[in-house]
Each structure stands twice: as C-alpha cells, then as structure tokens.
Structure 1
Amino acid sequence: MTHTPNTNERSGKRQPLALPLASPVDGLKLYAAEWPAPKSPIGVVCLVHGMGEHHGRQAAIVQPLNEAGFVVFVYDQRGHGRSEGKRGHSPSITHLTRDVDAVIAEARRRYPSLPIFLYGHSMGGNVAVNYALRHEAELAGLVLSSPWLRLAFQPPKWKVKIGRAIGRIWPTFTQQAGLASGALYRPGHPNPAPAKDEWSHGSITAAMFVAMTDSGEWAIREARRIRIPLLLAHGTADRITSFEASRELFSQANPATSTFMPVEGGYHELYHDPEGIATMERITAWLRERASELLH
C-alpha cells in the first residue's frame, strides 16, 4: 500500500490532499481530493456527489467514513464545483462514468491492496450504478443514497418531449432545476450543509436531463446484472428523487448480495437529516463488514 502523507496532518489539522485529474474521455480537468484515514485504513470509498452541488457539501458523509477507517476520495463532477465544464452539463452518461473511472484508477494506484467501494448520492447515485453496470467494475461494494433513477415528481409528457427535441439540436440549453426550499433535508443535524455556497448551482442542461432520465430507467431494467454487494438507502418522504424507483431497482437486483435501507420520513439528503448520524452509522457498518470480509 502506498500513501503520501498530507503535510497539514503533521500540524494536527487534517486537510484533504488535492489530486488534479483529467477526464479520460476528453481531457477535461477534474478537481479531486483524498481524505486519508486518521489510522491504518481498512478500505477506500470513492464518493460521487449530486446534481448542482460539489464534494465540499459532503462532510457529513466523509467524516464518519474517515473515523471508521476509510480513505475517502472525493471529486467535483464535470460542470460542478471547481471542475471544468459548462455548469450542469454532460454530453452523455458515458462522459460521467468515464470520469468516475479516472477517480477509481487513482484510488487503486495509491491503495492497491485495499478494497475499493463506490458511493453515489442522488445524480451521483445514477452515475455510480451506471458505472458498475456499464464498466463491469471490480469493486468491493456499491452504496446508492437517494439515487436519481426517476424524479419524485413527473414532469408533463409534453415538456419531456420538447426537452428531448431541444436536446438534440441544442444540448447545452440550460434551465434552472427549481428545487423547492427545504426539500433537501429537515433541520436538526449538528453538522448541516452551509446555507450559502459559492460552488453550488441550480443549472441543468437539456443533454444532462435526458442522460439522467434515460440512464436511470436503463439501470432499473438492468439491475439484475449488478454483480457486487449493493446497499441502497432512500428516504420514504424524498420529494426530489423517487423512493419507488429505488425499491423497483432493488427488486430486480440479486437478493443474496443486496440490501435495501428505507429511512422512514427521510428527505433527500439523508446524511443531513436529523437522523443523519444514525443513518451514516448504518451505512458505515455495512461498509466495514464488507471490508472485513475481504481483508481477512
């Protein structure tokens, strides 16, 4: 196992180690970072964030994983945060999954002897499950948190048809997602996301919307081909992505290696909900169990 210590760790203040990466599909520069484990690591988790946000909003995920002994690799997806690209845009799902490939390759290069897990939230959950299916990745496990397989609200069919037509002739046409205030999580978590955030945005292009819509439905249909252990967590009161779609994907997956974790009354960002600490304890316990099975 190789590990380059972060110089900030020596001063007692832990900071992520920046890892500039380039997309293998078009060379676009991706901002990535590694959070080293504070003790001897038991595994690596590569984290894929949701639509309009960036890796910096996910401290409530990173911290408990770190404390449990996992190295965490984070990055800003193309068109998000400090990565390059038009805001809220990807030409296809392939561009997004190939970007994941770059992060996982770097994690594997730096920690060749450790099990590697992929953890995707919301839009990142769609990207993560598509990566697992399309790349037939050799991963230790897959965690999906409130994945965007379908939206919790269905836009009118005529709007979808117009959106697809626009996407064919003007793929970078941009609209605002228009999420309702308070739809992400309920107040009460001791480590809430910042109220104002210069790196977040509400933009989504026509091509990105079509890519997410089609790849979500494809993943549900192909879920039986998921070969790796799966943990799928979703709140029953999610107003953004569909709880029922997650349950449908789980029903198609291998029951011997898949776990469904419904969170009663949970909103979209389960890790920022009032029960977020307990939710992350359950997810972390599942990851630790998988890692332990592989290391012993």
Structure 2
Amino acid sequence: MTVTRRWEFAGRDGAVAARSWRHPEPRYLAVLVHGYGEHLGRYEHVARALLDHGATVVGVDHAGHGLSAGERVLVADFEDRVADVHSLVEDARADHRDLPVVVIGHSMGGMIATRYAQLHGEGIAALVLSGPVLGRWEALEAMRGLDEIPDVPIDPSTLSRDPQVGRAYADDPLVWHGPFKKVTVEAWARCLDAITRHGSLGALPTLWVHGEDDRLVPYEGTAVGIEAVRGTDLTERRHAEARHEVFNETNSDEVLAEVTAFVDRVLSAPAR
C-alpha cells in the first residue's frame, strides 16, 4: 500500500513544503524538482508512474512557490534552492540509505537539478532533465535588458498540445501568473553561468528529454548548455511537435516510459 506523507522543514528562505509517495519495497529514490511558478502538485501523475515502477518519490515546493513560504517566485540565489533539495534528499535517505537516487528536474527545475548534480553527483545514480533551462535562454537575456519586466503571464498553450493542461494551469491558484522579478532573473543568469563554468557531469548517467516545438525554452538554446555539461553517459530524446511540458504532453506515457527504461538501464549497470 502506498503511504503519502506531507511535512515542512526549515529551508534557506523559510518553511519548505515537502511530500513523499512511499513504495513498500522501493528499488530507488526518485527526487522531483519542479519548474518556475508551479508546484509539486502538478506532478502527481509523474510520481504515480515512478511509484508503479518501484520508486519511493519525494519532492518540494521551492521557496516562494506552491505551499512553501516566501515571496512568490522571488529567488535571490539559486544555490539556496539547491541546498533545499539537498536537505530533502538527506532526509529521505535517512530511511533509505542504500537506495540509488535519481534526480528528475523540469525547466527551471532542470537547471536546479543540474547544479545539484554538479555539487552532489557522488550521491546520485542518475539525472533526468525535461526541457531544462541551460546554456542560452533568449527570454532571460531579453528580460535582463529591461528596466521593468512587463506583467505578461506564460501562455498556457505553450505547455502542451493537450488544451486541458493549459486550462488547468490557468485555473490553478497555486501557480504564479504574474511577472518575473528582476532579482530572480539576475539570480537565474548567475546560476546558468555557474553551471557552464563548472562544466562536465562526468560519468553520471543523464537523460535529456525535450520537445521540438518548445517555444518557452527552445531546444537550440538548451543544447548549448548541454554541450557545456555533457559527460560520458548522455542520452537525448527529442519529441517532434511536443511543447514545453513533455510530462504533460499528449504522448506523456511514451515520455515516462523512456524515463523508466533509462532508470532500468542505470540500475542494471555495474556500479560506477
């Protein structure tokens, strides 16, 4: 029987809301790292797929997101978000010390997950990146050049070909529908630069999944960042016509099957 737990812990910028889906006999620990302006509640179906695959799943709402404390979408330093994820992983591993850890990050969460892997890669078995913000993001560069960022919300139609995904996003009170904040934009640029300067992920098995019709985080810009961190074990999956949220796309079952097949390959391989 699945046991779901919710709790809070003291993060770098206040109370962080955490959640777990506990498998009775887990094969691995999956850590979900959500994207900008959203929250972990949008990943229920991802958690269930991983749970069915034999994982205990954990994740947080980043500070300033979802049910966590903090000014909405304000990030002064993304290293603090990385530290919060590390606190979550350390807490989860207290009960599962011998389980391999797979970190799965989407969009902004893909950036956070990549930085986490650079700093704590010795403690994880694999990294999965979904439409990650890495390398060159033209939207960020444009916002950095503005004195005042306009109050233009993310277009829900850019998330998925499934219109229900966009409607649910637009109607979700825990999703941030306001403008980007200058402090966050500058912190984002610093984090991207730190990731690029740090460089290769080494031998860490990494799966990169991206929609070819991703208009929020275009493939070409992310590819620049992937080249900067590319290690010796990178698997790339591009999905024709898919938009930004490949886990919420019309072929999400196919995408999640790619993730679980990748995890199976990693778990069956000899220890690094």
Q: Considering the TM-score relative to the shorter chain, is it more than 0.5?
A: yes
Match of 2:247?
271
Write the distance in 2 (CA, Å) between the matches of 1:101 and 1:88: 20
Letter in 2 for 1:219: I
Q: Which has the larger radius of gyration?
A: 1
Q: Indicate conservation of the 8 Å contact 2:16/2:69, yes or no.
A: yes
Aligned residues: 269
Amino acid paired to 2:9 = L
Change over 3 Å in CA distance of 1:156–1:223 after alignment to 2:
closer
Unaligned runs of 5+ in 1: 1-8, 167-173
The one-letter amino acid of 2:82's match is: T
Please name the residue that 2:216 is paired with: 240
Superposed displacement of residue 252, structure 1? 3.7
Name the structure 2 match of 1:183: 158
Structure 1 residue corresponding to 2:18, chosen from 32, 45, 49: 32
8 Å contact from structure 1 (residues 149, 213) kept in 2: no
Q: Deviations over 1:94-145 (max 9, x none)?
A: 1111111111111111211110111110111111111111345421111111
Paired position in structure 1 for 2:177: 202
Give the match for residue 258 of structure 1: 234
Write the deviation string for residues 138-197 of structure 1: whole angstroms up to 9, x where unpaired: 21111111012257644675x52445xx8xxxxxxx86452123011111789x956521
- Report the AA paired with residue 162 of structure 2: P
Alignment identity in percent? 25
Q: How does 1:2-41 map to 2 (within 5 A)?
A: 9=1, 14=2, 16-23=4-11, 25-26=12-13, 28-37=14-23, 39-41=24-26
**Contact 1:152–1:243 under 8 Å retained in 2:** no
Deviation of 1:225 (Å): 4.0
The corresponding residue for 2:111 is: 126
User: Are positions 1:75 and 2:60 aligned together?
Assistant: yes
CA distance in 2, matches of 1:177, 1:211: 20
Report the 3-state secondary structure (helix = DSSP H, G, I; strand = E; otherwise coil) of the residue aligned with 1:95: helix
Q: Deviations over 1:57-80 (max 9, x none)?
A: 112311111110111102100000
Q: Taking structure 1 as reference, are residues 237 and 221 closer, same or farther at Cα in structure 2, changes over 3 Å only?
A: farther
Aligned-pair CA distance for 1:286? 0.6
Structure 2 CA distance, aligned partners of 1:40 and 1:189?
34
Shift, 1:205, TM fit: 1.9
- What are structure 2's unaligned runs of at least 5 residues? none
